[in-house]
């Protein structure tokens, strides 16, 4: 079987100034993961590596660079799934770690559960020796700027870029800021 890796960097808003960086980031992630597959590594290791690369890249809404919630905080979700066994692990609303995808894999491999959330996920991370990071280190100037711009209802002037010109105003209003 010829190994294959495919990655995406999200279907949300990407401004022109971030176009080159986001395109470069997915290529770097794909190539890093492909090297694992070339060396006989597993698909599971490859997808984890690809996602770690993008979590560490502030261009993307995951890990460092995550969008902020209404309180200006970072809450992250992640999942990993193994097609051989249908095993899966996930975390939700997790804080203060750099790579939620690694914690998801630990949930899959070290617990009887499929998903750990919030404080429970943090407790598990600590028990597994996953290093804590300062929440501020996950925030970027870009994520803070977008948070401020979107505090006021109807204050996002660039949303139409996200949906395209053919979408109605009512559709935009219904779906304002709902791209994860």
Partner 1 sequence: TVGAVAIDSQGNVASATSTGGMLNKMAGRVGDTPCVGCGAYADNLFGAASPTGHGEAIMKVTLCRLILFHMEQGMSPEKAADTALEYMKTRVQGIGGVIVVNSSGDWVARFTSEKMPWAAVKNDQLHYGFYKGE
Interacting residues with partner 1 between 63 and 82 (CB under 8 A): 63, 65-71, 73-82
Find, among 122, 69, 130, 121, the residue nearest to 102 by Cα: 130
Q: Which residue has the tokens 């010109």?
A: 165
Q: Which two tokens stand for residue 65?
A: 């660079």
C-beta neighbour count of 72 within 10 angstroms: 13
Rounded to whole angstroms, how far apart are CA atoms 110 and 31?
A: 29
Among 58, 90, 97, 125, binds partner 1 (CB under 8 A): 90
Cβ proximity to partner 1: between 30 and 130 the closer is: 30
26 lies in the binding site for partner 1 (CB under 8 A): yes
115 lies in the binding site for partner 1 (CB under 8 A): yes
135 lies in the binding site for partner 1 (CB under 8 A): no
125 lies in the binding site for partner 1 (CB under 8 A): no
Cβ 127 to partner 1, closest distance in Å? 19
Reported for 73-79, long-range contacts at CB under 8 A and 24+ positions apart, including other chains, are 73/135, 74/135, 74/138, 74/139, 75/118, 76/100, 76/138, 78/51, 78/103, 78/104, 79/104, 79/115
163 lies in the binding site for partner 1 (CB under 8 A): yes
- Phi, psi dihedral angles at 38 (to 5 degrees): -60, -35
Among 58, 61, 96, 122, binds partner 1 (CB under 8 A): 61
Q: Give the total of residues touching partner 1 (CB under 8 A).
A: 90
Cβ 163 to partner 1, closest distance in Å? 6
| Contact between residue 67 and residue 85 where contact means Cβ atoms under 8 Å apart | no
Q: Which residue has the tokens 């809450």?
A: 75
169 lies in the binding site for partner 1 (CB under 8 A): no
Among 51, 97, 106, 130, binds partner 1 (CB under 8 A): 51
Q: DSSP secondary-structure letter at 61?
A: S
104 lies in the binding site for partner 1 (CB under 8 A): yes
140 lies in the binding site for partner 1 (CB under 8 A): no
6 lies in the binding site for partner 1 (CB under 8 A): yes
Cβ 136 to partner 1, closest distance in Å? 14
């Amino acid at each position: 079987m010829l190994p294959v890796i495919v990655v995406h960097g999200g279907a949300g808003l990407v401004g022109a100034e971030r176009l080159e960086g986001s395109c470069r980031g997915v290529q770097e992630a794909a190539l890093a993961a492909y090297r694992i597959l070339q060396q006989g590594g597993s698909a599971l290791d490859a997808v984890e590596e690809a996602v770690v690369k993008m979590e560490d890249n502030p261009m993307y809404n995951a890990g460092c660079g995550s969008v902020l919630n209404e309180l200006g905080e970072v809450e992250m979700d992640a999942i990993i799934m193994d097609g051989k066994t249908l095993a899966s692990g996930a975390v939700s609303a997790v804080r203060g770690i750099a790579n939620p995808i690694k914690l998801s894999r630990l949930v899959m491999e070290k617990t009887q559960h499929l998903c750990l959330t919030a404080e429970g996920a943090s407790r598990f991370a600590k028990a597994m020796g996953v290093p804590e990071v300062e929440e501020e280190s996950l925030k970027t100037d870009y994520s803070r700027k977008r948070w401020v711009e979107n505090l006021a209802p109807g204050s996002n002037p660039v949303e139409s870029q996200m949906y395209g010109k053919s979408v109605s105003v009512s559709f935009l209003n219904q779906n304002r800021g709902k791209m994860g």
